[in-house]
């Protein structure tokens, strides 16, 4: 509890008979007394937020070097020379596969056939061959790997017949890498 001093003002209006002196306020001749409060004070307790202190947070960044003696990450490295050599050994089989497919497509006729050279198809065979030998795809079938390979094999032409040929070229490369 906190003691608080409050003030208030009042006016008294005293009605008297004419000519009565002022000192006789408590006199029975006073007919009526009316009191009117004018202004007063009333203690009101409220709370409002005020700043009493500040907290300053400073951020510092420190770097330090540490020596780690364990293996952080292992990396599988495919040496291009070995991949090129392995692909070169399989190249005649890829050329034969390509020629067979071109003959079948030509004989079948239709709008899907588009004359191509082996040089057009070789990057797809090579891509499939590299994917087939990639350890990331070990134990997975071509169908499981195909969605990842499809993005690199699709052409800007979006020719469905050509895309099917490319798919078969990539599949053949993939299969031969697994069997070599």
If asked whether residues 22 and 86 sit together in one domain, one would say: no
Q: Report yes or no on 68 lying in a domain.
A: no
Find the domain containing 24 and state its range: 8-40
If asked whether residues 94 and 173 sit together in one domain, one would say: yes
Q: Report yes or no on 71 lying in a domain.
A: no
pLDDT per residue as tens digits for the range 56-101 = 778 788 888 877 777 656 666 555 568 888 888 899 999 999 998 8
- What pLDDT, on the 0 to 100 scale, is given for residue 101? 86
Q: Report yes or no on 18 lying in a domain.
A: yes
Tokens in use for 173? 């490369």
Q: Report yes or no on 59 lying in a domain.
A: no
Q: Report yes or no on 50 lying in a domain.
A: no
* 147: Cβ contacts below 8 Å, ≥ 6 apart: none
Q: What is the dihedral of CA 91, 94, 96, 99, to 10 degrees?
A: -120
pTM flag (> 0.75): no
pLDDT per residue as tens digits for the range 5-33 = 888 777 777 666 666 665 555 656 555 66
Number of domains in the chain: 2
Q: Which of 21 and 55 is assigned the larger pLDDT? A: 55
If asked whether residues 22 and 93 sit together in one domain, one would say: no
If asked whether residues 84 and 132 sit together in one domain, one would say: yes
Q: Report yes or no on 21 lying in a domain.
A: yes
pLDDT per residue as tens digits for the range 133-166 = 888 888 889 888 888 777 655 543 455 566 677 7
* 80: Cβ contacts below 8 Å, ≥ 6 apart: none
């Amino acid at each position: 509890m906190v003691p608080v001093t409050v003030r208030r003002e009042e006016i008294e209006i005293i009605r008297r008979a004419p000519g009565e002196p002022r000192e006789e306020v408590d006199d029975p001749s006073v007919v009526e007394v009316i009191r009117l409060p004018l202004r007063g004070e009333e203690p009101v307790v409220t709370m409002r937020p005020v700043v009493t202190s500040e907290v300053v947070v400073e951020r510092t960044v420190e770097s330090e070097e540490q020596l780690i003696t364990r293996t952080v990450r292992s990396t599988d490295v495919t040496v291009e020379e070995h991949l090129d050599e392995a692909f070169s050994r399989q190249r005649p089989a890829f050329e034969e596969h390509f020629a067979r497919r071109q003959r079948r497509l030509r004989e079948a006729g239709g709008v899907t056939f588009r004359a191509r050279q082996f040089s057009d198809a070789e990057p797809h065979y090579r891509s499939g061959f590299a994917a087939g030998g990639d350890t990331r795809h070990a134990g997975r079938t071509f169908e499981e790997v195909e969605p990842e390979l499809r993005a690199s094999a699709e052409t800007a032409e979006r020719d469905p017949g050509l895309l099917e040929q490319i798919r078969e070229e990539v599949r053949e490369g993939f299969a031969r890498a697994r069997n070599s």
